[in-house]
Amino acid sequence: MKKHLCTILLGTLFLLGCKQSNKKESQIMERQSSDFSVEILDREALNLIDPKAGIQIVASGFEWTEGPLWIKEGGYLLFSDIPNNRVLKLDSNNKVSVYLEQSGLTGNNPKGKEPGSNGLLLDSNDHLVLAQHGDRRIARMEAPLDHPAPNFSTIVDNYEGKKLNSPNDAVYDKAGNLYFTDPMYGLPKGMDDPTKELNFQGVYCHLKTGVTILLDTLTRPNGIALSPDEQKLYVAVSDEKHAVWYQYNLVAPGEVNGKQLFYDVTNLIGIEGQQGLPDGMKINNNGYVFASGPGGLWIFNPEAKAIARIHTGRLTSNCAFSGDEKKLFLTADQDVLRVDLKE
C-alpha cells in the first residue's frame, strides 16, 4: 500500500510539475505573441524581413541586457548584463552561462547602478574589447575567447588627461581605428557625479597616434556604427528632448564633417507603446541600418527612410547579426530575442 501511495503521490507531483511548466511556457508564448510584431512601412523591407517573421525570447531573467556580439568561431552570442557586472554566453542550444565576471568594474570604484560592460566587440586579433562603465575605459581582455578571465589592458581611459565618463558603444574600422561614444550613464550620479571630469559627452576616435575628439556637442551620444564602405559614421542620441540619429561624412580616420539629421523620433517619446530611445545599432552588409529606438527596433535604408519596425513591447537596447545575417539578436530589457531575417 505504501509503495502504491508513493507512486500516486509521485505521479500527482509530476503532473503538477508539468502543469506548472506548461503554464510557464504558455505565459512566455502569450507574452511573445502579444508583445511582438513586425510592421512593414515600405515594400523594400520585404527583401530583409517577413511581416510574419519568427520572433522568440531565447533567454530571459537578467537585469538589463546590452552589447550583443556574435562570435563566429563557436557560433555563440555574448551580451552584457550591466547592473550585474558580467558578460553572459548564449550557445546554439539557447543555453545561457556566465562567460565573464567583473566585466566593467574591476576595482573599488563607486559601483552605481550600471557598473558592468556595455558595448562588446572584437579587435583584429579576435580579442574581446569592452566598453567598461565602472572602470571608465575601453579595455581589451587579454585572455583568449575560449578561456575568458577578467584580465584587462587599457586601450583608452582619458582625453587630454581627464578621465572618460563611461564609454558606451564602439566600432572598429578596417584599419583598426576605434570609434566610441562616452555619455555619462555609467557614473553613479550621472551628470551630477562629483567624479565627472569632462564637461561634455564626447564621440572619439582612438588612432594609433592617440585619441582624438570627433564630436563634443551631442547631449547623449550612445550607439555608433560605420557604413560598409566606411564613408559614413552614424551616432544615436538618447535624449528625451532630442531623440535622433545623426549621420556624418568620415573624411579621414578620426575626422568627420557634414553633420546631417538621419532620423528624428522625438515626437514619439512618452507615447504609450513607444518606450525607449535611440540606442545601439548595427548596419548590415548592404548598408541597411538596424537601430533600437522607441517601441523596439527600427530598420532604415541607406537613404534614411524607415522601412520597417520590430515591435518588442519592452525597452530595447541593441542588436547583433549572426555571421550569415539570417538571424538578428536583440537585447531588450531582461530578455534576449531572436528574429528571423531573409537571406
pLDDT (tens digit, 0 to 9) for every residue of the chain, 343 residues total? Answer: 333 433 333 343 334 444 444 444 444 444 455 689 999 999 999 999 999 999 999 999 999 999 999 999 999 999 999 999 999 999 999 999 999 999 999 987 778 899 999 999 999 999 999 999 999 999 999 999 999 999 999 999 999 999 999 999 999 999 999 999 999 999 999 999 999 999 999 999 999 899 999 999 999 999 999 999 999 999 999 999 999 999 999 999 999 999 999 999 999 999 999 999 999 999 999 999 999 999 999 999 999 999 999 999 999 999 999 999 999 999 999 999 999 999 6
Closest CA to 236 of 226, 245, 248: 245
pLDDT for position 106: 95
Q: State pLDDT tens for residues 82-136.
A: 999 999 999 999 999 999 999 999 987 778 899 999 999 999 999 999 999 999 9
Cα 160 to chain centroid, rounded: 28
Q: How many CA atoms lie within 13 A of 286 on its CB side?
A: 12
Q: N- to C-terminal Cα distance for the chain?
A: 62
The phi, psi pair for 5, rounded to 5°, reads: -65, -40
- Choosing among 2.120.10.30, 3.40.50.360, 3.40.50.150, 3.50.50.60, the CATH entry for 35-340 is 2.120.10.30
Q: What is the pTM of this model?
A: 0.90
Residue 47 one-letter amino acid: N
Count other C-beta atoms under 10 Å from residue 313's C-beta.
18
pLDDT for position 25: 43
Alpha-carbon span 256 to 55, nearest angstrom: 37
Contact 76, 58 (CB under 8 A): no
Alpha-carbon span 319 to 310, nearest angstrom: 12
Alpha-carbon span 311 to 289, nearest angstrom: 16
pLDDT for position 111: 81
Contact 330, 290 (CB under 8 A): no
